[in-house]
Homo-oligomer: A and B are copies of this chain.
Amino acid sequence: MPTTPRPADFKLTGLTGTLRCCQLFSGLSAEDLMVIAGFVVVQKLAKDEYLFHEGEPARGCYLVQSGAINVHRVSAIGKEQVIHVFRSGESFAEAALASPTGYPANARAVEPSTVLIIPKAPILELIGRRPDLALRMLGSMSSHLRVLVGMLDDLTLKDVETRLLNWLVKHSPTSTGGTIRLPGTKRVLAAELGTSSETLSRTLGRLRDQKLIAVSGKEIAVRNLPALQGMLRRNLGEH
A residues apposed to B, CB below 8 Å: 73, 75-77, 79, 81, 83, 94-99, 101, 104-105, 124, 127-129, 131-132, 134-135, 137-139, 141-146, 148-153, 155-158, 194, 236-239
The minimal Cβ–Cβ distance linking A65 to chain B, given in whole angstroms, is 23
Q: Name the residue on B nearest A101 (C-beta).
A: B146
Question: CA–CA, A141 to B151, complex, Å?
Answer: 17
Task: Please tell me how many copies of the chain the complex holds.
Answer: 2
* Interchain CA distance A99-B140 in the complex, whole Å: 9
B146 & A148 in contact (Cβ 8 Å cutoff):
no
Residues from chain B with Cβ under 8 Å of A143 in the complex: 99
Q: How many angstroms from the CA of A139 to the CA of B137 in the assembled complex?
A: 11
Q: CB-nearest residue of chain B relative to A71?
A: B149
> Among the listed B76, B127, B145, which residue makes an inter-chain contact with A141, where contact means beta carbons less than 8 Å apart?
B145
CA distance A237 to B148 in the complex (A): 26
- Picked from B101, B139, B148, B239, the residue with its CB within 8 Å of the CB of A148 is B148
Complex-state Cα separation, A77 to B104, whole angstroms: 32
* 16 contacting pairs across A/B (C-beta < 8 A): A73-B149, A73-B157, A75-B158, A83-B149, A94-B138, A95-B138, A98-B139, A105-B149, A127-B135, A131-B134, A134-B134, A134-B138, A141-B145, A148-B149, A151-B152, A156-B194
